[in-house]
Structure 1
Amino acid sequence: MSTKNEILPLTGLRFIAALYVFLFHMQINWPFAPRGMVKKVIEQGAVGMSVFFVLSGFLLAYQYSGRYEDKKAYFVKRLARIYPIYVVAALSTLPWMWRGQDFSIWDTAAIVLTNIFVLQAWVPNYFNFWNNGGSWSISVEVFCYAVLPFIAPWMAGLSKRKLMVFAVLLYVWCVVPGQVGRHFPDLQFSFFYALPAFRLPEFLLGACGFFAAQRGFRFSRPNLVVVLILVIFIVLIKRRVSGLPYIGYNWMLIPAVVGLIVSLCQSSGRISSVLSCGLFVWLGKISYCFYSFQALVLLLLMKYHSGMVDAFPILNANWVLCVLAFAILICLSALGHHFIEEPCRRKIQLWSDSRSQRAAEKKEVCVI
């Protein structure tokens, strides 16, 4: 189910999370889901972002376990992985940056600079600007990436009991914002939902899941656990909860996601097999582009929807529009992954490796 640096079911799960968020955004703008359970589940698709954060924590702890000493190499790899597509996605949505808002030159400069340095999630007022608010999660991820190499060695050294205590503290940390927001309705939703400090515990709980599995934690029947977690998730997610939307579900969502990730790693059942098949692994590989280019597709549909419906009346059926948007997004994501993301990643990595090699050679000459 896995290669040396890749756990195949989790690669497939990345696409499922991205698809869930995409369906959620389509449902907001062009409701297409039938009434009942399906509609209620899709309407909570923003919880897919928590899946991303927990999954990232687990996978990075797995990929870099015991190799955090070279922090420069770690950060270069992370930068090479996310920044090229991040820039392309931002530039592609530049015409919609202001979206009818009258910004001063200083406001515009602040928005541009915070986005260039991926700091926009720290400023709640910037949530909806540029890339249709779709880049806040990358800002959160960058913060989590920065924290991991400093805290992971400490986590790796914890005893099983201390790791469990730390996981409980993280759980409380990620549950509290969604509940506190209910008592402070005047504070911005984006403050609780997007602030990196409030999403960091989700990422670190993913890392805790990896360290627990690394130390021998194993479900006795992982195939059954996968099914039970999915059923429980569907049953609970369709119910209303107190607190803020989406992160108000963290009390049950985060343990379920951590459990799902660990059980998928240990499972050999049908769900794990499907997520490990070639198609889903490929979809998982393009999932970052799929997520990043959602805003462009949505903005284009908003602008040209009326004209498209006039030309093709069948698009008046929102589910048909959703299928079309999905197909366009898959094509854009494939192109972005194969012609931008991967080539840029390799070039940045080669450039960094060559610089490191030259520096090492120069140091060796100086020593001699």
Structure 2
Amino acid sequence: MRHRAPGSRSSAVPSGRDRLPSLTGLRFWAALLVVTYHLSRQVGQIPGASELAWYGRSGVTFFFVLSGFVLAWTYDGKQIPAKVFLRRRFARIWPLLATTTVLSVGVWLALGKAVSTKAVAATLLLVNAWIPDQVILRGGNPAAWSLSDEAWFYLIFPALMALPAVRSGRGRRWIWVTVCVGVVLAWLSGALIDSGVPRVWALDYLPLTRTLQFLLGVVAGLAVARGWRPPIGLWSAVSLVIGWHLALIPWSGAVPDALWYSPYQASQLLSTPLFALLVAAAAHADLSGRTTGLGGQWAIRLGHWSFAWYLIHEIVIRVWVARHGRPEGASDTAVVWLVVIAVSLTLSACAYRWVEHPLERRLRGSGPGAAAGGGRVGEERHTAEVVRPN
């Protein structure tokens, strides 16, 4: 293992699963942003909350940045065979993906909707985000497209970590600047792409486009692991993210989503550096031993449930709307929101306890690297990935 410079990781930081508790807490808030986005658009709007969450799909951008950050921070300096790394990632995401896809397909069939076998296969094979077809993208479990992107990130992660530019401080600074320019150029490229599915697929789903977000997370994670202090504190970063979403409200009123320069793609692409600052600031606060208010017992528990919540909540929304329709009036809409949130969170807690956690433990404990402690998943959860490798 490569020698690490003194002070690059605080010796006062707790060990095990609570090492970066604020990142676990932030997972819940990012998932909530996605959930309220879907509630606003599929169930009905609540004044104030819906305006703020209208482009809450940006929560997926947060998770992609967080994924790169945590993997880089975790595996920096560790010699892990690629097959062990990929098996751990498979054990982390695939059992719950398969379970929720079966649930989603069952709901489609119970509601009398046709289900594409190709879409289900593409979802389970983690390749659906590469195919510019709405049926393929959404036909298994609509939320599962992001795991196709994650699978791509896992494949390229070892190569990214080996790049000389990623390994040097100067190189990471150039990558940060390049990614910031790149996400702006990606957004501007929407002017060159036909409207509808081609543009949405290219800018929202395509793993190559989303790689910029993962890459920025990687360089931020390595920088923090090696002692970098973010230029702003945690709550300043939180304020920037909230301010960004507030700025989208008048923009949304002025430009319809169908136009390339609307906030729809901008909210997901241009938020990348803001989320990188947020994740880095939260991690630095934890490593410095500061209390952030994001890492309490319930915050961590909700963060653990957030992966299942992300995959389950839209299924619950789908069932409610099919059975009861969209509510009328803000008060009725608020009640439905609360019911959907409560039911989907309860199902997510059950899925975490009886599906996600035990199956991950079993898969990790029976494959390559198990002898090195690969089954101890209870100590490794902080993001949509596993934080502490064994």
**Shorter-chain TM-score above 0.5:** yes
CA distance in 1, matches of 2:37, 2:242: 19
Q: 1:71 to 1:352 in 2, by over 3 A?
A: same
Alignment of 1:51 onto 2:71: no
Q: Which SS does the other structure have where 2:294 is aligned?
A: helix
Q: From 65, 87, 94, give the equivalent of 2:76.
A: 65
**Shift, 1:166, TM fit:** 2.0
Q: Distance in 2 between matches of 1:248 and 1:220?
A: 24
Aligned residue runs from structure 1 range 334-345, under 5 A: 334-345=349-360
Q: Name the SS of the counterpart of 1:216 in structure 2.
A: coil
Counterpart of 2:313, as a letter, is Q
1:124 is paired with a residue whose SS is: coil
Which AA in structure 1 matches 2:367? S
1:43-84 per-residue CA deviation (whole Å, 9 max, x = no partner) reads 011111100100111011112222254111111111111111
**Alpha-carbon distance between aligned partners in 1 of 2:280 and 2:181, rounded to the nearest angstrom:** 20
Residue-by-residue CA offset, 1:24-53 (whole Å, 9 max, x unaligned): 000001223214xx4322101111110010
Matched, 1:115 2:118: no
Aligned pairs for 1:199-210 (under 5 A) are 199-210=210-221
The 2-side partners of 1:91 and 1:251 are apart by 31
Please point out which of 26, 38, 58 is paired with 2:39. 26
Paired positions, count: 346
* 1:93 to partner: Cα distance: 1.1
Q: Deviations for 1:107-162, whole angstroms, at most 9, x for unmatched residues?
A: x443233222110000020223221x211111111111111122113257632222
Cα deviations by residue, 1:144-187 (Å, 9 ceiling, x for unpaired): 11111221132576322222112222233333332212332333
Query: C-alpha distance in 1, partners of 2:271/2:31?
Result: 16
Aligned sequence identity (%): 23
Distance 1:284 1:334, change over 3 A: same
Q: Which runs of 4+ in 1 moved over 4 A?
A: 96-103, 313-316, 353-357
Deviations 1:315-351 (A, max 9, x none): 9701100000000011100000000111101111111
**Alignment-derived partner of residue 312 in structure 2:** 293
Alpha carbons of 1:184 and 1:9: their partners in 2 closer, same or farther (altered >3 Å)? same
Per mean C-alpha deviation after superposition, the further-off stretch among 195-204 and 232-241 is 232-241
> How much is the aligned-residue C-alpha RMSD, in angstroms?
3.0
Closer, same or farther: CA 232–68 of 1 in aligned 2, 3 Å: farther
Q: 2:387 aligns to what?
A: none
Deviation (angstroms), 1:101: 7.5
Q: 2: distance between equivalents of 1:264 and 1:354?
A: 30
Code of the residue aligned with 1:73 in structure 2: it is V
Aligned to 2:97: 86
Amino acid of the structure 2 residue aligned with 1:145: Y
The AA in structure 1 aligned to 2:333 is N
Aligned twin of 1:233 = 244
Structure 1 pair 15–190 and aligned structure 2 pair: CA distance change class (3 A): same
Q: Secondary structure at the match of 1:327?
A: helix
* 2:25 alignment partner in structure 1: 12
Q: How far apart, in 1, do the equivalents of 2:250 and 2:153 lie?
A: 30
Aligned to 1:76: 87
Asked if residue 333 in structure 1 is aligned to residue 348 in structure 2, the reply is yes
Whether contact under 8 Å (1:314, 1:320) holds in the other structure is: no
The 1:90/1:338 distance shift into structure 2, 3 A limit, reads same
Distance 1:230 1:315, change over 3 A: closer
Q: TM-score, normalised by structure 1?
A: 0.84
SS in 2 for 1:267: helix
Question: 1:1-368, aligned counterparts within 5 Å?
Answer: 3-4=15-16, 6-35=19-48, 38-95=49-106, 108-125=116-133, 126-131=136-141, 133-154=142-163, 158-186=167-195, 187-219=198-230, 222-223=233-234, 225-240=236-251, 243=261, 245-250=263-268, 252-267=270-285, 273-306=292-325, 317-353=332-368
Is the 1:97–1:130 Cα contact (8 Å) retained in structure 2?
no
* Alignment partner, residue 365 of structure 1: none
Cα distance, 1:68–1:123 mapped onto 2, change above 3 Å = farther
Q: Which residue of 1 aligns with 2:255?
A: none
Structure 1: which 5+ residue stretches go unaligned?
Answer: 358-368
Residue 364 of structure 1 is matched in structure 2 by none
Q: Is the 8 A contact 2:37 2:50 kept in 1?
A: no
What is the distance in 2 between the residues matched to 1:134 and 1:223? 29
AA aligned opposite 1:334: A
For the residues of structure 1 that align with 2:269 and 2:329, how far apart are their CA atoms? 42
- CA 1:244/1:122 → structure 2, altered by over 3 Å: closer, same or farther? farther
Distance 1:2 1:172 in 2: 37
Change (3 A) 1:204 1:239: farther
